[in-house]
Amino acid sequence: MWGEVIIRWTARLAVSCYVARVLCDATDVPGRPMQRQARWWWTVGCGIFLVHVIAAFHFEHHWNHTSAFDYTAKRTAEMTGWNSGVGLYVNEVFLALWVADTAIWWLNPNWPQNRFAYWTVQGIFAFLMFQATAVFGPIFWKPVAAIAIVCLIWLRARRCKSSG
């Protein structure tokens, strides 16, 4: 029972940290830098997602990769009709990307200013977070995801107006 609670809440907290980082990015205007807060949200989210993966492998799959693959295939088939466990590998690459991006950011505080790297990482994260919440998450996440997307677009437009 506790394992399921830990798995569920670490996923929710990791998504929340991702959203907090994106909000910091979206509201960052000249004279009010938010990059430090963004980096901390990013780092905490990365750590929580690592705990999520460890908890899922420990409590749900008992450190059996085949079990995790089969579970992923079953859930994917239920949600999309596509019977494949490849999403497990996507999740593992996602974790590696988050850890690498976090480490690079701490080594180079100007890392987010590399626009190509920034938008590549953010595009991948936005797609995967949407999949994790709106497609595979509980039903109430669908409107939450839609509202979050609208708010982020609004914040980004507001930022563009104030800076230029």
User: 104 pairs with which residues across the strands?
Assistant: none
The whole-number pLDDT of residue 143 equals 74
The number of folded domains in the chain is 1
**The pLDDT value given to residue 107:** 97
Q: Which two tokens stand for residue 48?
A: 């929580």
CB 38 within 8 A of CB 28: yes
| 22 token code pair | 């994106």
pLDDT in tens, the chain (164 residues): 899 999 999 998 998 999 899 888 888 766 567 889 999 999 999 999 999 999 999 999 999 999 999 998 998 888 888 899 998 999 999 999 999 999 999 999 999 889 899 989 988 988 888 777 766 677 766 677 677 777 767 766 665 665 55
Residue with tokens 């901390």: 40
Backbone dihedral angles phi then psi of residue 68, each to the nearest 5 degrees: -65, -40
